[in-house]
């Protein structure tokens, strides 16, 4: 079957990263031009940079709906997760996490375990939800444990029962870290009500710049610093702050949260159109993960009988960009650990592809992408069977 290039590429990999909005690019550039001073400098050139950090903290506070303003700026979501896990390891008797966490959590846990921290990894249901019974069991076995669970899974988009998880952890006096990298700007993220001890996020998942993470810390004195040095950020994370990136984060947050419900409705509509188009043309395709508790923008589809990588490759050649499992692991010839943990066979995991929409996608793109994906899937199905 001949492949045709689309007039404009369609980017459907927003869970990997999102394009920075023009306002964000401008905020970053403007900061580099005018607020380049070191926020730790006592002279007047440091003042705009200090103000900018303060403004970013206020925006975080208001968007996350929390009365605390203890936010540590890091170099990525991965760094924020590493910092959180290290801090949990210092104060908890054991870290309880799940099989479907991002590699920044699972690899941190593996390293901490090698250094002597007890780690328990709980299972998830077939629909990709953390098993609350298993969590309770671990919490009742390990007194003063610490829990690290993601809010939304980056591969399936399944929204974890985070309220129940934090409530359970409280019941057992356990510290809680939430990896909210995929939640910010895609669901209502009122943090005050959840009262986690730590929560991490990363700007490039909501049209901010890459390389800017944040760790919210209810009690920052619990932080065990990853980086020591000049004592910036009260010594919780030493190193001169990335003020331009933080300005980009602040701008992206403000833009998204000023129209959060519209953004969510927009992405949900696109995802709905896309899924309906694919499923109408290919009724044999299955959606991976809980259908009614999935974040608005994510569709993880199992094209049973075909190689997902072949589909991703053919779509790439036509100008539709999507991925198999998470961006950090796409280069590796391994099936998704998330889908395997949900009970999919190796073949089913290899046959699965993630499509993730963003605020910059259009209805026409969703319709066109659905048709092209279905056509390519049918073509590959004929070849593979």
Ligand X SMILES: Cc1ncc(COP(=O)(O)O)c(C=O)c1O
Nearer to ligand X, 189 or 202 (CB): 202
213 in Cβ contact with 77 (< 8 Å): yes
Position 277 contacts ligand X (CB under 6 A)? no
Nearer to ligand X, 281 or 327 (CB): 327
The interface region with ligand X, picked from 54-62, 87-95, 178-186, 343-351 by CB under 6 A, is 178-186
Nearer to ligand X, 215 or 247 (CB): 215
Burial of residue 353 (CB within 10 Å: 0-12, 13-18, 19+) is buried
Whole-angstrom Cα distance, residue 177 to residue 195? 10
Site for ligand X in 322-361 (CB under 6 A): 326-327
- The residue length of the chain stands at 385
Nearer to ligand X, 150 or 166 (CB): 150
Whole-angstrom Cα distance, residue 276 to residue 274? 6
Whole-angstrom Cα distance, residue 29 to residue 35? 10
Whole-angstrom Cα distance, residue 327 to residue 168? 32
Tell the smallest beta-carbon distance from residue 338 to ligand X (Å).
Answer: 10
Query: For residue 153, which of 73, 230, 199, 99 has the smallest C-alpha distance?
Result: 99
Q: Name beta bridge partners: 337.
A: none
> Cα-Cα-Cα-Cα dihedral of 234, 236, 239, 245, to 10°?
-100
Site for ligand X in 187-206 (CB under 6 A): 202
Q: Name beta bridge partners: 213.
A: 74, 202
Site for ligand X in 49-108 (CB under 6 A): 76-78, 81, 102, 104
Nearer to ligand X, 162 or 310 (CB): 162
Tell the smallest beta-carbon distance from residue 326 to ligand X (Å).
Answer: 6
Tell the smallest beta-carbon distance from residue 27 to ligand X (Å).
Answer: 18
What residue number has its CB nearest to ligand X?
77
Question: How many chain residues touch ligand X (CB under 6 A)?
Answer: 15
Task: Give Cα separations from 58 to 64, 66, 71, 99, 234 (angstroms).
Answer: 10, 10, 10, 34, 17
Nearer to ligand X, 277 or 326 (CB): 326
Site for ligand X in 205-224 (CB under 6 A): 213
Neighbours of 183 (CB within 10 A): 22
Those residues with Cβ within 8 angstroms of residue 343's Cβ, 6 or more apart along the chain or in another chain: 126
Tell the smallest beta-carbon distance from residue 101 to ligand X (Å).
Answer: 7
Please identify which of the residues 94, 251, 302, 328 carries the catalytic annotation. 328
**Does the active-site annotation cover 328?**
yes
Tell the smallest beta-carbon distance from residue 150 to ligand X (Å).
Answer: 5
Whole-angstrom Cα distance, residue 268 to residue 128? 20
Member of 120, 179, 197, 241 binding ligand X (CB under 6 A):
179
Task: Convert residues 144-173 into a mask of x (bound to ligand X by CB under 6 A) and - (unbound).
Answer: ------x---x-------------------
Q: Name beta bridge partners: 124.
A: 130
Q: Is the dihedral of CA 193, 194, 200, 206 positive or negative?
A: negative
Q: Which residues are at the interface with ligand X (CB under 6 A)?
A: 76-78, 81, 102, 104, 150, 154, 179, 181-182, 202, 213, 326-327
Residues with catalytic roles: 328
């Amino acid at each position: 079957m001949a492949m045709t290039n689309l007039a404009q590429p369609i980017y459907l990999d927003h869970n990997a990263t999102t394009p920075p909005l023009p306002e964000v690019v401008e905020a970053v550039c403007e900061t580099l031009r005018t607020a380049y001073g070191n926020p730790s400098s006592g002279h007047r050139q440091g003042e705009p940079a200090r103000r900018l950090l303060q403004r970013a903290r206020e925006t975080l506070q208001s968007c996350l709906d929390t009365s605390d303003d203890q936010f540590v700026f890091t170099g990525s979501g991965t760094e924020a997760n590493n910092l959180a896990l290290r801090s949990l390891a210092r104060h908890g008797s054991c870290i309880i996490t799940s099989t479907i966490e991002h590699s920044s959590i699972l690899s941190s846990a593996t390293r901490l375990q090698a250094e002597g921290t007890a780690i328990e990894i709980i299972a998830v249901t077939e629909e990709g939800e953390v098993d609350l019974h298993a969590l309770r069991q671990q919490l009742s076995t390990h007194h003063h444990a610490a829990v690290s669970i993601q809010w939304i899974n980056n591969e399936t988009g399944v929204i974890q029962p985070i309220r129940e998880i934090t409530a359970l952890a409280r019941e057992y006096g356990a510290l809680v870290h939430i990896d909210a990298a995929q939640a910010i700007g895609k669901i209502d993220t009122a943090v005050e009500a959840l009262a986690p001890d730590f929560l991490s996020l990363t700007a490039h998942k909501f049209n901010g710049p890459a390389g800017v993470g944040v760790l919210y810390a209810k009690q920052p004195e619990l932080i065990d610093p990853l980086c020591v040095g000049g004592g910036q950020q009260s010594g919780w994370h030493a190193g001169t702050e990335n003020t331009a990136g933080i300005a980009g984060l602040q701008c992206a947050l403000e833009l998204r949260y000023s129209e959060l419900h519209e953004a969510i409705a927009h992405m949900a509509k696109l995802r709905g159109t896309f899924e309906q188009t694919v499923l109408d043309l290919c009724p044999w395709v299955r959606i991976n993960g809980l259908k009614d508790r999935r974040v608005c923008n994510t569709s993880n589809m199992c094209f049973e009988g075909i190689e997902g990588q072949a589909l991703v490759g053919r779509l790439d050649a036509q100008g539709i960009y999507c991925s198999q499992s998470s961006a950090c692991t796409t280069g590796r010839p391994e099936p998704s650990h998330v889908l395997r943990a949900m009970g999919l066979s190796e073949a089913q995991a290899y046959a699965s592809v993630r499509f993730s929409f963003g605020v910059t996608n259009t209805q026409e793109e969703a319709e066109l992408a659905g048709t092209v994906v279905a056509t390519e899937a049918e073509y590959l199905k004929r070849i593979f069977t």
